[in-house]
């Protein structure tokens, strides 16, 4: 009996030790699983915080960019002068297909003929540089009408109105401060322009003549100096008859 009891006691102790070992192993596995879960949760929270920080940073940069654009736009607006330019269209018309009969029996030929139909207008007003001019034009097929204006150096406003068609040709009318110029005044302006052009050509020719004259004179003086250096032994060179000849040359070149 004593041996049987001792054996049962040892068996119970062994079973208890195994149970405790299994429990500790199970607790270790559970702890390891909890640690992994905590680590994953920590990484997830960290990633969420990083994304939130990046989103806030991008939003702040976008707001700063918008504010900078608005501020720069205000500065640009304050720096604008009085100059302006405007344009109105359209400037292109539809393309019409023209069928031409082919007498040789090779089908038909397509020719695209432009039919101009446009309207444009622009103007410049800049008090700072005293530039003031404008122009507008309208064309429908062969009919052309337009005008342009500008300020002359004397301060008067010159306006030119023109028109053109295939029947009457080109016609233009010049207005100074709203008053038309007569043919005599136009002829006078044309004569003044031609006179100024001729005077400019004459002045240019005179300047070229003076340039060539001075160049020839410099060459003559250089040539005379070389002769004097070559014939330096003759002290009477340039005097007497030869001196008269040299004076004649000087008078000719001067």
Is the same domain home to 71 and 113? no
Determine, yes or no, domain membership for 1: yes
Report the domain count for the chain. 3
Per-residue pLDDT reduced to its tens digit, 155-205: 888 899 999 998 999 998 888 887 776 666 666 766 776 777 676 667 666
Determine, yes or no, domain membership for 153: yes
pTM above 0.85, yes or no: no
Per-residue pLDDT reduced to its tens digit, 10-60: 777 777 777 777 778 888 888 788 888 877 777 777 777 788 788 788 888
Is the same domain home to 75 and 104? no
Among residues 181, 209, 236, the one where a domain terminates is 181
Determine, yes or no, domain membership for 31: yes
Q: Give the burial string for 81-119 (b: 16+ CB within 10 Å, else e).
A: eeeeeeeeeeeeeeeeeeeeeeeeeeeeeeeeeeeeeeb
Centroid of chain to Cα 56: 39
Is the same domain home to 56 and 102? no
Determine, yes or no, domain membership for 85: no
Whether residue 206 is predicted with pLDDT greater than 90 in this model: the reply is: no
The set of residues, in sequence order, having a beta carbon less than 8 Å from that of 254 and lying 6+ positions away, is 217
Query: Which range marks the domain in which residue 36 is found?
Result: 1-80
Is the same domain home to 149 and 207? no
Determine, yes or no, domain membership for 28: yes
> For the chain, where are the alpha helices, taking DSSP H only?
2-78, 183-230, 240-253
Tokens representing 254 are: 């001067």
Whether residue 214 is predicted with pLDDT greater than 70 in this model: the reply is: no
Determine, yes or no, domain membership for 145: yes
């Amino acid at each position: 009996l004593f041996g049987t009891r001792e054996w049962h006691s040892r068996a119970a102790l062994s079973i208890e030790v195994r149970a405790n070992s299994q429990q500790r192993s199970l607790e270790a596995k559970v702890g390891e699983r909890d640690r992994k879960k905590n680590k994953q949760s920590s990484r997830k929270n960290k990633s969420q915080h990083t994304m939130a920080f990046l989103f806030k940073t991008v939003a702040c940069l976008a707001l700063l960019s918008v504010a900078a654009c608005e501020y720069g736009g205000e500065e640009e607006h304050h720096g604008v002068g009085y100059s302006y330019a405007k344009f109105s269209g359209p400037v292109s018309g539809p393309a019409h297909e023209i069928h031409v009969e082919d007498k040789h029996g090779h089908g038909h030929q397509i020719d695209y003929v432009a039919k101009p139909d446009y309207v444009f207008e622009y103007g410049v007003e800049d008090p700072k540089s005293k530039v003031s001019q404008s122009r507008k034009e309208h064309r429908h097929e062969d009919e052309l009408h337009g005008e342009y204006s500008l300020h002359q150096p004397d301060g008067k406003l010159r306006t030119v109105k023109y028109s053109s068609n295939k029947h009457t040709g080109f016609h233009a009318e010049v207005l100074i401060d709203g008053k038309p110029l007569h043919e005599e005044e136009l002829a006078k302006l044309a004569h003044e322009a031609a006179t100024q052009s001729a005077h400019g050509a004459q002045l240019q020719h005179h300047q070229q003549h003076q340039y060539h004259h001075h160049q020839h004179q410099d060459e003559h003086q250089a040539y005379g100096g070389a002769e004097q250096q070559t014939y330096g032994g003759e002290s009477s060179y340039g005097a007497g008859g030869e001196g008269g000849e040299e004076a004649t040359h000087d008078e000719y070149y001067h």
